[in-house]
Structure formats: C-alpha cells, structure tokens
Amino acid sequence: MLMDYISAFVVGGIICVIGQILIDKTQLTPARILVIFVTSGVILTALGIYEPIVKIGKAGATVPLPGFGYALAKGVMKEVTEKGLIGAFTGGVKGAAGGIAAAITFGYIMSIIFNAKTKK
Amino acid sequence: MNKNMTEAEKKKKDYQQIVKQKSPKSALFKNCVLAFIVGGIICSIGQFFSNLLTKWGIPKDESSIWVPIIMVFWGAFLTGLGVYDNIGKYGGAGSIVPITGFANSIVSPAMEFKKEGYVLGVGAKMFVIAGPVLVYGIASSVIVGLIYYFIR
Amino acid sequence: MALKKIGKQTVRLEAPPSIIATSSIVGPKEGQGPLAQYFDTILSDDLCGQKSYEKAECKMAMDSADKAISKAGIQKEVIDYMLSGDLLNQIITSSYTAREMGIPYFGLYGACSTMAESLSLGSMLIDGGYGDYILCMTSSHFSSAERQYRFPLEQGTQRPPTAQWTVTGAGAAILSREGNGPYVTHVTTGRVIDMGIKDANNMGAAMSPAAADTIVQHFKDTGFEPKDYDIIATGDLAAVGKELADDLIKKQGYDISNVFTDCGIEIYDSKKQDVHAGGSGCGCSAVVFCGYFYDMLAKGLINRILMVSTGALMSPTSSQQGESIPGIAHAVTIERMV
C-alpha cells in the first residue's frame, strides 16, 4: 500500500521534472508541453514502453498527461483487436472518453459558477 | 549592401548574446525540485483515489476511468476557486503536466472569456489549449490504430 | 526647411507648452508600492465596479481625464484635442473614453511609449498654433493586458525572472499654450529598433536598444549632456532592460548612470512585491510621470527631466508567427522654467 504511494510519487514527479526542464530550457508554452506529452504518451504506449512504466508507477504514470495518451493508445489497440479497422477510429476516443467528457462538462460548469480573479 | 547586412546581423547576434548573459536565469534546480514534489503529490492523490475505489470493490478497468474523472473535477474546481494558479506559480510543470493541469487549461480561459458570451466566449475558448491536446492525442491514436491494424 | 527641427530626430519647441495639470489613478497593487503617496486615486478594487476588466480600464481612463481637467480648472469644451492610446486591440480604451468625452480625438498606438508619444504630438500641436489646450493620456490594466498578450488569469503558469508586471493605471496630462510650467521644451522622436529579441517574457531587453538609440540621439541633436538632467527616466525597461540600456549608452560615450532611472523599477517594491523584473505597460510611465515626477517638478525638487517612454510593438499574432519584438522610445524634455 505505502509502496503504491511512493512509486506514484516518484514516477509522477519524474515525469513532471522532464516537463519543467523543457519549460525552463526551451521556453515552450504550456500548450506545447501538453501536446508533446500526450502525443509521446500515445507513441510510447504503441511501442510498448509506457505499459511497464504504468505497472511500476500506477497513478504516477496515468495521472500525468502521457497517461492520457496511454489511455488513447491502449483503447485504440484493444478496439482494433476486437473490431478490426473501424476500431482505429473509435478506440482511442473510447479509451479516453471518461476524461474528455469530464473535462468538458466540469470545465463548463466551473466556468459558469466561478469568475476569474485578478492576481495580486 | 551585403556587407552592411552582415554587420547589422552581427550586431544583433552580439546583443542577443549580451542579453543572454545579463538576464537572470530561472532557478532550474529549485523549479525541478518543486515540480517533482507538486507533481508527486498530485499523482499520490490520484493513487489514493485509485486505492479507495479498489477498496470499494470497483474493478480495475473501471477505476482507471474513474481516477482521471475525479482528478479532472478537482483540477477544474480548484481553478474555479482561484487556487490552482497559485499552485502553478510554485509547482510549474508539476501542476501543468498532470491531468489536473489539463482541466486548469480548460477552465481558466473559459472563465475568463465568459464576458464574450457563452458560445464564442466559454464554448470556444475552453479549447484554446485543450483543443490542440485533443487534436494531436486523438489523431495520433488513429494513426497508431491504423498501423496496428496492418502489422498486427 | 523645418525651422524648429534640430539635428536628426529632435524638435525644439519655440513656445514651450506648459503642463498645467496631471492626474494619476492606479490599481491596488501599485497603491501598495513606494510611490503610493503621489497618486491621486488608488483603487481598492481593480474591477472599478464594472463588468469586465476592459470596461474597468475605460472607467479608469475616464476618471483620470476628468480629474486632470478639474485640476486644471478648465471646462472640457475648451480642449482642442485629445491624444490617447492604450494596449488593447484597436485601442478600445482610448476610443471608448473619447466617445464619452466628446473632444476631437487622435487615437495613438505606441504600446507603452504612448505617454511620451502623446506629450510629443500634443506639444507640437500647441507650438504649431493648432490649439490652446490638449489632453494627453494613456492607460493599461494588468488583467485586460494579461489575457490579450499572455495567459488567462487563473492559468497555473510560471513567470520567469525576466518577466514584467503590467501596471494597472491611467495617467492624463493637460498641455496649455500658456501657463507657469513645467514646460515641454524638446521632443525627440524614436525610430523602431529591433535587435531580434523574441522572448515576450523579456520585453526590457527588446526595448532597451530603442531607448539607448533615442537617448543618444537626443544628446547629439540638442547638445545636452547627461549632467544637464536631474533625471533621465525610461518607461518600462525594468531591471534587466535598464542595465542593458545603461551599457549600450556607455558604449556610445555617454554615462547617464547617475541620473538614470526607470519607471518600471520605481513603481514597485521589487523585494516585497512579486513583480519579477518590474513594471510595464502604458500606465507605467504615465502614472509615474503624472504622479511622481510631475510632483517633484512642481515642488522644485528637480529642474529638468528627460522622460523616455519605451514601447514594444509586437502583437500576439506576430509573436506566434515567429517575428522578433520591435522596440521604440520617445523622449520629451520637461523643464520647470524656461
């Protein structure tokens, strides 16, 4: 149990440090960082590299954005296996559907309820 | 003319070099430590929810869908409360890279552009950053699917 | 032959117009800074009771114009022209303010150089005999500028140490053909200079070559030396840009370091306030001049100041297309007596 938390902390922390180095060294904007991380999550999963990281890091690998890519890639490969060619188009979104729908819905609700506050 | 051009270019290069030297650098080590801690904590919270769901008897493939949903909720909620930008100030990538940061990138422009209306303000601007993430994420998953179909 | 022009870029005003009144209004953060006592109004809420930050900026600009007019003891009907600019797309703050004012209006865009630009043009209009009273003003607002140029307020981003903080504030000055000073005596109009800096988080570095160019040209054109001035103040180069400009000017043979300051450094307490390199924005040089420097001139603490407002002339579109940041700096000499 405790091991779960430690490995999630360490693996998640390392993924974020990679992002921090990219931000400070290359002046990439957060949007580009997120795009890079999702896409590399998809590619690394397809190459079979990300699965072992998820095995070790658990939430530490699925909560950061490459984990979103992991869900997309895992979903698409599963669906292709089960349904064939059509799965290439439906599987990815299916795999990440929960996160996407939640992000849009909660995002909408929160932005209706709350207002942006100025910085001090 | 050509020689002039190169002289002007050289002057520019020299100036850019001086600017590089004189500009204070981001404290990379400190930023990385903070990113590690903040990112680590957010992931541990994700792990906590995952363990909690398992304890409640929810199967693993279902809980792996629930965890992002829960994390997105908290990211969106804390953004609404005006807390997430302060976490980001210290956490840097530690709060941008987790899926809570994805939620933050959706809520923050949506909230801010509410004054421009609910369709082109909230509805459109919420995808300023999330849009590209979905475009590249989904498109690359389709490509992976196609390749996988043919080489499987 | 232009009779009033001296040197390459400078105009010497034959009948120097008098700045008969100024006003300044700032947001809460600026009100916690070291210059608080010099500002006319410090807002407790930077939304100004309005529905959006753009509307708040407009309200601020309106209030500062009204205040300057009442301090000058004139009716707004006697004002011949209003010269104003701001940072928002299509300078909406200025135009919407002008809509309410009902004064003949020239909209200016000089980014953060607008205060000196409006004073320059206003002085030339008066000296040319085209008006008796001219209202010169500009404004900026942290929250309206931030979302146009950078990120939404609630987005969790980190600002690098070279980043600057847009001043929430509006300043207005009234120029008059007659008055007891301080007087605008010289105007040096800047050229656009671009040294290829692309980092929008390091605007000071992008603008300092323009500031150095204008200041050096001013010395060459007028024959003034650094010691002729009590203060040479740039608009918003902040900590990084000021140091760079100081060096660039030294390389050209002028040492201004004894009298050199920057409004972006003056307005905040860099140790206590989290502003990184310092302040920026149209409002920065506007409120520091209209509040602090004008007060010092009026009290006789200083006799001659060179006000050099600096502007970065990029847009989010040009930045996204990979263009570098062009800078500009306009200088006006303001003297207590002529």
Q: pLDDT tens, B60-74? A: 989 999 999 999 999
DSSP assignments along B75-100, one per residue: HHHHHHHT-HHHHHHHHTHHHHSBHH
| Partner B contacted by A28 (CB < 8 A) | no
Top CATH class of C184-335 equals: alpha beta
Residue of B nearest to A54 (CA): B64
Buried/exposed code over C125-149 (b: 16+ C-beta within 10 A; e: otherwise): bbbeeebebbbbbbbbbbbbbbbeb
Six token digits for residue A6: 């430690």
Put simply, the answer to whether C161 touches B26 (Cβ < 8 Å) is yes
Quick one: how far is CA B97 from the chain centroid?
Answer: 5
Q: Report whether pLDDT(C239) > 80.
A: yes
Q: How far is CA B7 from CA B12, B135, C211, in A?
A: 9, 44, 21
Q: Are A78 and B141 in contact (CB under 8 A)?
A: no
Interaxial angle between packed helices A50-57 and A2-26, expressed in degrees from 0 to 180 and rounded to the nearest 10: 130
- What is the C-alpha to C-alpha distance for residues A11 and A7, in angstroms, rounded to an integer? 6
3-state secondary structure of C43: coil
Q: What are residue C333's DSSP bridge partners?
A: C186, C306
Phi and psi at C333, nearest 5°, equal -90, 130
The domain tally of chain A equals 1
Would residue A119 count as lying in a domain? no
3-state secondary structure of C236: coil
Across the range C142-152, mean pLDDT stands at 93
Which amino acid is located at C331 in the chain? Answer: A
Q: Are C45 and C28 in contact (CB under 8 A)?
A: yes
Neighbours of A81 (CB within 10 A): 13
3-state secondary structure of A114: coil
pLDDT at A29: 86
Quick one: how far is CA A54 from the chain centroid?
Answer: 11
Interface predicted TM-score of the whole assembly (ipTM), two decimals? 0.94
Q: pLDDT tens, A20-42? A: 999 998 878 889 999 999 999 99
- What is the C-alpha to C-alpha distance for residues A39 and A28, in angstroms, rounded to an integer? 15
Q: pLDDT tens, B19-68? A: 999 999 889 999 999 999 999 999 999 999 999 999 999 999 899 999 99
Percent of chain C at pLDDT > 90 equals: 95
pLDDT at A30: 86
Would residue A118 count as lying in a domain? no
> Cβ contacts (< 8 Å) between C144 and chain A: which residues?
none
Domain of residue A54: give its range: 2-113
**Which residue spans within A24-100 are E strands per DSSP?**
none
Which amino acid is located at B1 in the chain? Answer: M
Q: Are C11 and C190 in contact (CB under 8 A)?
A: no
Residue ranges of domains in chain C: 5-176, 184-335
From the list A4, A81, A87, the residue facing B47 with the nearest CB is A4
Would residue A51 count as lying in a domain? yes
Would residue A66 count as lying in a domain? yes
Percent of chain B at pLDDT > 70 equals: 97
pLDDT at C122: 98
pLDDT at B4: 64
- What is the C-alpha to C-alpha distance for residues A51 and A61, in angstroms, rounded to an integer? 9
Mean pLDDT of chain B: 94
Residue found under tokens 């060459």: C220
Task: Kindly report the nearest CA distance between residue C235 and chain B, in angstroms.
Answer: 19
Choose the mutation target among B23, B108, B112, B133 for the interface with C, i.e. most C CBs under 10 Å.
B23
Give the DSSP H/E element, type plus range, for residue B152. Answer: none
3-state secondary structure of C38: helix
* Residue ranges of chain A with per-residue pLDDT less than 50: none
The reply to whether omega before C209 is within 30° of 0 (cis) is no
Q: pLDDT tens, C30-62? A: 999 999 999 999 999 999 999 999 999 999 999
Q: Tell me, which fold does domain C5-176 have in CATH?
A: Peroxisomal Thiolase; Chain A, domain 1 (3.40.47)
Six token digits for residue C310: 């600096």
